[in-house]
Structure 1
Amino acid sequence: MLTTGTPVRNWAGNITFGAERWHRPSTIDELRRIVATARQVRVLGAGHSFSDIADTTGDLVRLDGLPRRVEIDPESATVTVGGGLRYADFCAEVHAAGFALANLASLPHITVAGAVATGTHGSGNGVPGLASSVAAIELIGPEGDPVRLSRAEDPERFAGAVVNLGALGPVTALTLDLERGYDVAQWVYTDVPLDAVLAGFDEVTGAGHSVSTFTDWRSGLGTIWLKRRLDRDGAGHPGTEWLGGRLADAPRHPIPGQPPESCTPQLGAPGPWYDRLPHFRLEFFQGEGDELQSELFVPRAAVRDAFAALTGLGDRIAPLLHVSEVRTVAADELWLSPSQGRDSVGFHFTWHRRPEAVLDVVAAIEERLLPLGARPHWGKVTAAEPAVIAARYDRFADFRRLVLDHDPVGRFRNAYVARLLDAGPS
Structure 2
Amino acid sequence: MISCDSESKKQQGPLRSNWAGNFTYSTQTLEEPDKGEALLAAINKQEKLKALGTRHSFNTIADSQHRQLSLAKMDPNIQLATDRSTVSINGAVQYGVLAKKLQQEGFAVHNLASLPHISVAGACATGTHGSGDQNGNLSTAVTEMEMIKANGEIKVFSEETNLEELRASVVHLGALGVVTRMRLRIEPAFTVKQFVYENLPLEQLDTQFDAIFSSGYSVSLFTDWQGERVNQWWIKKKGQGQDDSMPETIFGASKAKDHLHPIKEISAINCTEQLGIEGAWHERLPHFKMDFTPSSGEELQSEYFVPRTEAVAAIHAIYAMGTEIFPYLLISEIRSIKKDELWLSPAYGRDSIAIHFTWKADWENVSKLLPKIEARLKPFQVRPHWGKLFTFDQDYLHGQYERMDDFVFLMKNMDPSGKFINDFLQKNLLSKG
Q: TM-score range by the shorter chain?
A: over 0.9
Residue in 1 that maps onto 2:204: 196
Residue in 2 that maps onto 1:177: 185
Residue in 2 that maps onto 1:324: 332
Distance 2:103 2:432 in 1: 42
Q: Which amino acid aligns with 2:305?
A: F
Residue in 2 that maps onto 1:168: 176
1:229 aligns with 2:221: no
Residue in 1 that maps onto 2:357: 349
How far residue 332 of structure 1 moved from its aligned partner, in angstroms, is 0.2
1:396 aligns with 2:404: yes
Mark the CA change 1:308 to 1:423 in structure 2 (over 3 Å): closer, same or farther: farther
1:142 aligns with 2:142: no
1:366 aligns with 2:338: no
Distance 2:406 2:180 in 1: 24
Q: Which amino acid aligns with 1:226?
A: I
| 8 Å contact from structure 2 (residues 224, 322) kept in 1 | yes
How far residue 280 of structure 1 moved from its aligned partner, in angstroms, is 0.3
Mark the CA change 1:235 to 1:375 in structure 2 (over 3 Å): closer, same or farther: farther
Q: Which amino acid aligns with 1:225?
A: W
Q: Which amino acid aligns with 2:105?
A: A
| Number of residue pairs aligned between Structure 1 and Structure 2 | 424
Distance 1:189 1:112 in 2: 31
How far residue 237 of structure 1 moved from its aligned partner, in angstroms, is 4.5
How far residue 76 of structure 1 moved from its aligned partner, in angstroms, is 4.8
| 8 Å contact from structure 1 (residues 262, 280) kept in 2 | yes
Distance 1:272 1:309 in 2: 37
| 8 Å contact from structure 1 (residues 117, 131) kept in 2 | yes
Residue in 2 that maps onto 1:279: 287
Identity %: 37
Secondary structure, in 3 states, of the residue corresponding to 1:115?
helix
How far residue 359 of structure 1 moved from its aligned partner, in angstroms, is 1.5
How far residue 221 of structure 1 moved from its aligned partner, in angstroms, is 2.0
Residue in 2 that maps onto 1:26: 34
1:389-410 C-alpha deviation (Å, 9 max, x unpaired): 1221010011001100111011
TM-score by length of 2: 0.95
How far residue 388 of structure 1 moved from its aligned partner, in angstroms, is 1.2
Which of 381, 389, 408 matches 1:381?
389
Which of 293, 297, 300 matches 2:301?
293
Mark the CA change 1:20 to 1:250 in structure 2 (over 3 Å): closer, same or farther: closer
| 8 Å contact from structure 2 (residues 408, 430) kept in 1 | no
How far residue 220 of structure 1 moved from its aligned partner, in angstroms, is 2.3
Q: Which amino acid aligns with 1:224?
A: W
| 8 Å contact from structure 1 (residues 218, 318) kept in 2 | yes
How far residue 71 of structure 1 moved from its aligned partner, in angstroms, is 0.4
TM-score by length of 1: 0.97
| 8 Å contact from structure 1 (residues 38, 58) kept in 2 | no
How far residue 423 of structure 1 moved from its aligned partner, in angstroms, is 4.1
How far residue 43 of structure 1 moved from its aligned partner, in angstroms, is 1.1
1:26-425 map, 5 Å: 26-222=34-230, 223-231=232-240, 236-424=244-432
How far residue 334 of structure 1 moved from its aligned partner, in angstroms, is 0.2
Distance 2:87 2:255 in 1: 37
